[in-house]
Structure 1
């Protein structure tokens, strides 16, 4: 299949969900407050997105505490560092995605690993994942789920025969993906590296699919594969936002998509488990979930605009 993303984009319910998300983003971009105060809105979106992403990892700190700089959580600090860096990584995301993912992990996992040499480095089988997923999945042009119809099923995003790790302890403050989201152990390091390389190829290849579809696959693959073994969830959501920005759906990084995922946090795990099955229904359900997160994220930022307008 020359364009697997285009196949995913046509799964049942996906075109409609993508159109609704696109319409919500367009409405946000038409808000008159953005003519004068767009940088403020972008900064607020980044702050709220970082808070929501950290909350999805189990570090649910009130927004006012995060805003004041009093949040001592290493997870929150990692989310804030990643959020501030996203705007500087767009130029190389298409051409060197693995380099970008490594950089995001360095920022996200600082303070969460005992050995700083592990920052930005893919995990090995000698050091299995210790927390939320954060590797760079490589999905070859045929690697991401690419079902041909709603009744067909694509190859499972993660092959069951590579689940070979015994789950170690999870660093304090990080979500245990195995226990909390029910994703099971991460695949072995070789299988993960192969899929990360494929994902990188997918990001760099031309596609007719909407940016939202690619962003959804990027997010899911990183969470499922857990390429780094710590802070992978933070990396996955930052990569999703970066994809929405760089591929044109949200070029000003206004949409607080992380807040959308947090608002639907129960569906977040359920949708990821569906994606993991690799069926048309499961993959399509995950993309629809991400479309709804974008819609809700646009609503969140619209509320910010209206608050600024009221003064």
Structure 2
């Protein structure tokens, strides 16, 4: 059996504690992921917060917000598919996001070059086979890979942020998609971009910094949810 390639990343200095802190933050607001009953309107408000955060990090928030809202509203529908048929889930995510923004024939279609195809095949294998890795680490890597590869040629970073959330939903970290990790990223946009650039550099320090950043974004998302529930 091939070793999970993400296990070593999950052991990098600072990553285990950052992941544990993020999970603790989520558990604190969701009371062990299910003991607290979230009203439908609270979930809807949280999904909207996530969509706004996702769009806010784009080059044209107003242009992408309607699609980000559509995509956010289907997080729990797409989540069961992301680890079973990743290509299908990602294509559907792009269709939801980019409808009305890009030509119909470009919706859900990956650009046809060998390097992109190879990177996406590797990402698909990772999603299907990485069963033992922390979901936070897997979600972070999926996010960064999609943002770096830009397979669709439009809206890729928004799909990448949604894909991170899909992995967390599918793993039961955030079963209702109510923790707006996208808004957690948007709360520190300069840090988000620096961390993503660090991942793209390919160094262990850059990858480590990115994973720690994503864990922090999850914690910030949990804090935002907790604040909204108290009001």
Q: TM-score, normalised by structure 2?
A: 0.94
Contact 1:260–1:295 (CA under 8 A) maintained in structure 2:
yes
Structure 2 residue aligned with 1:120:
108
Deviation at 1:36, TM superposition (A): 4.5
Structure 1 residue aligned with 2:215:
291
Would you say 1:235 and 2:224 are equivalent positions?
no
Could you list the structure 1 runs, at least 4 aligned residues long, displaced by more than 2 angstroms after superposition.
Answer: 34-41
CA deviation vs aligned residue, 1:201-249 (integer Å, no higher than 9, x gap): 1111143221000000010000000000001111111111110010121
Deviation at 1:40, TM superposition (A): 2.4
Structure 1 residue aligned with 2:82:
93
Deviation at 1:38, TM superposition (A): 3.5
Aligned pairs (5 A) from 1:166-205:
189-205=113-129
CA distance in 1, matches of 2:186, 2:206: 20
Structure 2 residue aligned with 1:183:
none
CA distance in 2, matches of 1:233, 1:243: 16
Unaligned ranges ≥5, structure 1: 61-72, 125-188
* Larger helix proportion of the pair: 2
Structure 1 residue aligned with 2:50:
49
CA distance in 2, matches of 1:210, 1:49: 22
Contact 1:6–1:207 (CA under 8 A) maintained in structure 2:
no
Contact 2:184–2:217 (CA under 8 A) maintained in structure 1:
yes
Structure 2 residue aligned with 1:107:
96
CA distance in 2, matches of 1:277, 1:112: 31
Deviation at 1:35, TM superposition (A): 3.8
Aligned pairs (5 A) from 1:69-84:
73-84=62-73
Contact 1:46–1:256 (CA under 8 A) maintained in structure 2:
yes
Structure 1 residue aligned with 2:9:
8
SS at match of 2:230: helix
SS at match of 2:6: helix
Contact 1:112–1:230 (CA under 8 A) maintained in structure 2:
no
Contact 2:75–2:177 (CA under 8 A) maintained in structure 1:
no
CA deviation vs aligned residue, 1:100-123 (integer Å, no higher than 9, x gap): 10011111111221x210111012
